[in-house]
Structures are given as structure tokens and as C-alpha cells.
Structure 1
């Protein structure tokens, strides 16, 4: 494509790509050699996308570059895959360049099974119902964790356990195999749905992420059944998951952040039958007024169904995971070293 966007709308990565296109092959290679691999891939992706740089855009970018680094600017360059390949080979050699370009090609081509990401979970269940469990595991491992958990929840318990086990044991899949499976599923989908040489797709972490977004009943069923099939693997999965009782692993500041996003009624239900250590940790990080409200709410609520307790705890765990993902809190799992400053 051609760069027609005004310089003010270009991202820093796009500007860096334009600069490299202006300074010549040898200088650009030297610059790339000083960058991290992630930076190289991001900038190279923009170089591949850019085919022509209008004179006005190039001049504006280079003027901005001059103001910061005071370097010269040669003639207008042309991007594209061939230029990116020459640049990478000059910077890192043919072998490493090929690896970067292979990952880049996969990224720019889009992810397999993208056509399932927005489909209704029940439709996807119907679509893959006749597939081998290994194929089902491959498909679910490629989907977002929230989508995969919704689909897995609708499978029969025995099949669900089998698929979960296969996801956890899966390590790598050939892109050719993934492509064949994706094309086959997509052909079937047209009638069902409505409008490196190896790629890592499975393993314990994807299964943990799927279970973390599953309802408590599905989570318990999979873990219990997985424990019967492979107790060591089940313990590994449990060790990587966060449970309601793990609130005691959070520092006081983190608990306070969590409590700000949880209403008293939900907390009162969640604490029903909870270990004393969890209740103490929670109350200690509430204001005096909030503690009084919690005490009153728990006195008034009386006995509640176990499913309601699990749902309330699930809501709190969702808040905790959201805060962890955003970097606002850190969860210290058992066995991890403490942080020091």
C-alpha cells in the first residue's frame, strides 16, 4: 500500500519504518541490528505494508527525525516484502531473517479459525460435534479463552474432559495441519454459521485461561475428571489457577482495589462458608462503614444456595483477574518469591 496519511496521524512505528526507507539499505540494517527482536518485527511489518512513500510525507517525517537526531535524509525509498527481506538478511543473516519473516507472514495472514471468534457458542459446538477430540482441542486452543470456555461448557462431561486433557498436552502443531483443519471447518461453517515451521497453540496455560473464564460448575467438573485421568497434570493446572481462597495471597493494597469494585451484597454471599483467613483478610481491608454494612448484609441474608455462593465468588475472581491483566495488582502464587524494592 501507499502511505497517504498525514504525518500527524502516523504511529511511531510507522514513522520509524518511513525513516528506514529513506536512509538506505546499509544504514537501515545497522539500525535494525541495534533493536530488540520485537521492535524489528513491528517495524518490519510496517515496511512490508508500505510500498510507496509520497514526497510530502517523507519530507515531514524526516524533518521531525532531523529535529530529534540531526541526521541526513537520502532519496525516497520503496518498501515491500523484498526490501524487508534484504534489510533483515543484512542485519541478522539469512537464517534469522527467514524466522522473522515466517512469523511476520503468519501474523499478517491473520489467525486460523478467526471465522469462529464471533460465532454463537452453540453453533460452534454443533459444527465441531462430529470431529475427533484432537481436532476439537486444536480448534479451541486457537480461539480466545472466553470463546473456548463457552464452547467447552456445552460439551458432554466425558468429551469435555478428553478435549481439556488434549489441550493441556498439546505443544505444537504444523501450520500445514492447522491450515487444512481450518479450511475443512470453514467449509462446513458456511452451511452452519451465520454472519518457524511450527506454531505453539496448546499447553497447560491455554487450558488454565479457558478454565479461568468458565463457570464454577464446568471448572470443577473438568478439574475433577482430569485428576482421575492425569493427577499430576490436574495439580499443575490447579496450581496455575486463582481461586477465591487465594485472596489471602494478595497484598492489602490489592485487596482494597478489588473491594472497591465489589458491592457489599455480592461480598456477603461470597463469604458464606469461606475460611476464616479469607474473611479476616477481606474485612481488614474495608472501611469501618463498609465492615458495618457487610456485617448487616450477612446477618440479613440468611442461608443461600451453594450455586449463589459460587456465582458471587466467580464475580470477585473476575474482578481480580481483570485487575491483574491490567497490571494494577500482582498475584503472588504459593511458592513464588516475594518482591523486594
Structure 2
């Protein structure tokens, strides 16, 4: 039996649109998208892709245009909520088109949980949640922008800070049922929990983003407690608190101190493949002759395994962290004021 040919006059289902979209992107990009889908979703999309035949340019352009509209609307929602998104879409696309896009988005895609809280002033939100259980606070902070979450974390009682930080770092997946229970406790109702799926939030990267924005005293206090309670987790967080590329944030005097502690062979490996601004920051803090020799070493070294490069970078990061603990260098962090003592 011959496959049924799709025509642009027919109403495409969401699955068919997704299949057309993936085919249009190409196999390389689509395979990366598949890595983030569940097995049943992959099976459904694979089936739909196999059924596709002769996608005409009008179909393809219509699907791509719809996807772009949904992504723009999702971005508006993330920045200011559904009402804000609807207002902007109405101005650019008209009332009916805006309503259609918002309805499609809220019915088929899950907007970010705790959207109403994300637009709340941090000081007001702190009063609202500080008496909640640490796990509830961790769940809420994990969904906030790091800048707002850092303000709230920094204002929590000291005994709660490390507990909440640990819970964010070890958080993996939260079921819709738990999200709904938290919403019930907070006497709020989200409009985007209808999709029966698991939502990812938290994790080490999440708490690292937050800790990078809190003041140094709060950060040190949290890390010290975590070092006692969960040394492995504390070390994992510390490794990610300062990455090699962050060297560009250091002042020249600090760079020069670091260079005196770093082995040249490790430095030449660490600089392989990094952005030019990182390399330039190092070269500017070396003599012309030393910089020239370092460049020669990198050229003669040839292709280097990524693992060797990352190991060398981590060694230098460890040296920087040690020098910071000794007070020899200062790592500027967002939100921190310079204080002379």
C-alpha cells in the first residue's frame, strides 16, 4: 500500500510538524535533540519521520514559521510572563494571532514552573518562603534566575543556607505531583503543570550559578559546612566555581602571581584551544621573550587530547583557588563590593 502523501491543504498534527521540523534541521542536529527526549517520544517521532514523503517548501516554511513564533513567545513568557508575552505579540502580530500562539504554547509546551514567583521582588519572596521546609525553598530557588536566587539564599538564616544549597545541588528530577503540592502549600496555582512529565531543575550547575553571585562570606560559609557534611559534593562545587576561562576576570597583578606558580608545560597545554582573549591575557603578563617561547611550545606540541588540556586547566584552577584561600589573589564576583580592610 502506497504511503499517503501529505498536502499543504491538510491539517498537520503536532507530531507531523515535529517530524517535518526535525527533517528540515538535518540528521546531525536532530540526533542531538533526540538525546534529550524520552524513548517513547523518539519512537513516535521516528515513526512520523518514516511516514513523511515529499515535504513541499510551503509546508516546511509554515512549520518553521510556527516554531519561530512559539520560541519568540516562550522567550517573552520567560522574561515577563504570559500577559507580557500576549501584549508584545498583539502589537507585532495582531490580537487573534497572539491568542492562537499563546493557546498553542500553553496547551502543548510547559511554561517554566513558578513563573509567578520569578517576577516577585526577592525581598518580598524571602518573607514569603523563609519559613518553608528547606526542600521547598530549594525547589523554588532552583527555578529562579540565579541573580534573584542568590539574594534570597544570602538572606536566609545561616543554619538554613548550607542545607538549601546542598538540596539544590543534589536535586535531579521533580514530578508534577510534587510541584503541584508545593503550589498548593503556597496557595498558588500554575497554569503550566498539565503536562504529565518530569521537570529537571537544580543540580550542581544550578547551585554554582547561585553561589557565584552571593557575597564571599555567604559562599565560604556554605562551602565550609558542605565540606564537613558532604566533602565530595563540596569539591565538585568548588571545581566549577571558577573555570579556566575566568582568568580574564583577574587583574594583572594576580595573573603574574599565578604565573610564578604554574609549570610552563602545563600552561602551554591549558592554553590550547581557548579563546584569544584568554591567551592574550596571559601573554600580556609575561615578558616578550617568555611569551614567544610559550607560543613556540604550543606550536611544537601539535594536536593535544582534550582530556590533557582540561587536566592542565584544572591544575591551574586549583593553584588559583589555593592562592585565593591564602589571600594572594582576589577573584571578583558579581554583586560583591570592593572593601578595603
Q: TM-score, normalised by structure 2?
A: 0.47
